[in-house]
Structure 1
Amino acid sequence: MSIRETGGRVVAMPSRRLALERAPDEVLCRVFLDGEEAAFEVLVTRHRALVFSLVRRYTTRPEDAADLTQAAFLRALEASRRVFARFTPVGPAPFRAWLVRIALNLAKNHARHGQRWRPVLVEAANDEVAEAPGESAQDGLERAERAREVREAVLTLPRRQREVLTLRVDAGLAFKDIAETLGITENNAKVQFHHAVKRLKARVGEPEEMR
């Protein structure tokens, strides 16, 4: 089973789901434009964890992050046909960067509208931290508490530092892409990241994901 182009159109062949799951984002965007609704479902599955981890930095509760994640994909779906049509047929589609911008804007709006850090019970924090193989209950609680402390510290960062940190650590973007997303210079993105990491180290030590 494969996805191939016929007469300039991308066509999903038999057993299309497996082929879609293996296809790069640019192919999925083009297939979706050709009427293959399942292509967008694959994009959601592929990038859901990324969006959740990004917006989680701006929320106090995992359920808020889940709501923002759903909102980001709904907004992307609403604009998809108009935006996908602008993607160049040559080279990778900037779907991931576009989706990150949507998620970041929603997260910033959420934080801006009076959403402040509130203490979270360790038990509640532990619900969203997957138990590691062979990990004791005590170790799991300590790891969850550590994750809560890091999230709290991130929420205290200046806005620009938090944005750069989130895009770098959670979205995995290069500094060049971060600069383009935020409308700043690449050097400024690097400086903001450096200051963000320095602040976090002073507050909670070096977060594991930045080692």
Structure 2
Amino acid sequence: MVLLEQVAVRYSDGPEILRDISFALAPGTLHFLVGPSGAGKSTLLRLLSLALKPSEGRFSLFGRDVAGLERRDLPAMRRRIGVVFQEFRLLEHLTAFDNVALPLRLANVREAEIKKHVGELLDWVGLGDKLEALPPTLSGGQQQRVAIARAVIARPSLLLADEPTGNVDDRIALRLMYLFEELYKLGTTVLIATHNESLVARFPHHQLHLEGGRLAPRTRLSAALP
């Protein structure tokens, strides 16, 4: 469960980037995060990925109050979160296969299982012939698909995706959305930040609509706070 109550976020002594943010996301649900550029979408994703802490309000993740977490608790919490960054953040000295395999290796999964699951997932995202390719040799869209595969391979409890279809064609975008839908049906909470209005219209999931750092009335959630 993700729960925010009257949350505000500011950087240092600057103005609030987010304010009065309250919502709940239940396990096994998929939501779109929409709104204009500068509305605070990336900041909200950074908050949910534990890269930021709220300056005000309550933030609870997986049943734990984030404000009460010790530094030693953060690595285990972050391992339950998959993040797709706009800038990909692939390790350039590792192949596509090894980038995707990294979360499983950190979790001490057997190599036989890693080989099977990573190969199947890269094939699903259309990169079955790029297993040994290094990121600098891949196009932006291909790197994005590697980053998505890495984020979902370990079936995280929470998946945060920042414009995951921004560098791919419509056919691949649909395939990626089907992948996200399979993931949430397995129990993952999925939050996708996107400007792709046609994608949001085609997949009528619940929406968080940010405007000027606040949730707009257009927000639709299945588990909204009373």
**TM-score, normalised via structure 2 length:** 0.26
Query: Which structure dedicates a bigger proportion of its chain to strand?
Result: 2
Higher relative contact order, chain-length normalized (CA < 8 Å, sep 6+): 2
Larger Rg: 1
Query: Which structure dedicates a bigger proportion of its chain to helix?
Result: 1
**TM-score, normalised via structure 1 length:** 0.27
